[in-house]
Structures are given as C-alpha cells and as structure tokens.
Amino acid sequence: MDIYQTRVLQAIKQRESTSLKNDVMIHNSYQTDNCFTSNVYVGSQHIATVYYTHDINDLSRNSNGGTLTYNKFDHSSGSFVDAIRNDSWEIDEISFNERAIARCLGTQAVRYRNFLIKQFGEQTSIVREYYEVSK
C-alpha cells in the first residue's frame, strides 16, 4: 500500500475531504449535499460512492465516527484527541460506477476500485453498477 492509498483509506474511514497529487479526490458529506455519502473521484470521473451507516451530524458520534463523546470521556486519564484518533465511521455500502471507471485513462481507477474492494469487501456491501447505453 502506497502513501496515496493510505491517505484515501484514512479519508474514507474518518469522512474527510482530500485531493491528492495523483488525481484522486474524496468529497465528504458536506460537499455531496447528502449526510450519508462520500464520493471518490479519479480525474474528473465519479467512480465510487461510499454510503455510511450514520449521518455526519449525528450527535451520538464524535468527529471521527466513534461513540466516545467529549462529555463521556474521563479527562484525567489522557487526551480526548488521542482517544478518538483511531475511531472510524461505519460504512454500509460502496457503490462503483463501472462506466466512469472505463472512461478513465490508464489503470488508476481500476487500481483504486480493486484497492477499496480489498480493504472493505469483507465488512461492507460492494455494488458494481453497469449502466447500459440507450439506443
């Protein structure tokens, strides 16, 4: 796993927005206008949508998706920031747009699709959508 894949994985798990030099972008729920999704872009193509179990504004979750909130934390035992650093949002489903992946030049989109399937395939539902061309 290279540094770019590590950063994409962190952005998806912690619901962050990122843009990388290898032409991969993650738009979080604030940018997609849907409280339950994040989008993955390679180039200008929207190749995947990540569906989360919980709303980004869910007050029972901390900023990284865990259930430990500031008021329930024992502050005498350590830093709150350190306690939530490894929390992540629960992912319900990842949907891939195979047409957009096919439109991308090179192998970057296929590489990230395979990477996300490998990372999240056992714990989430993977949907590969094939859109037919209307004649």
Model pTM score = 0.83
pLDDT tens track for 73-95: 666 776 767 667 777 888 999 99
Among 67, 80, 64, smallest CA distance to 11 is for 64
Residue 72's pLDDT is 67
What are φ and ψ of residue 113, in 5° steps? Answer: -60, -50
Overall average pLDDT of the 57-79 stretch: 72
pLDDT cut 70: percent of the chain above it: 86
Q: What is the mean pLDDT of residues 41-64?
A: 88
Residue 94 token pair? 């990842």
Q: Which residue has the higher pLDDT, 81 or 32?
A: 32
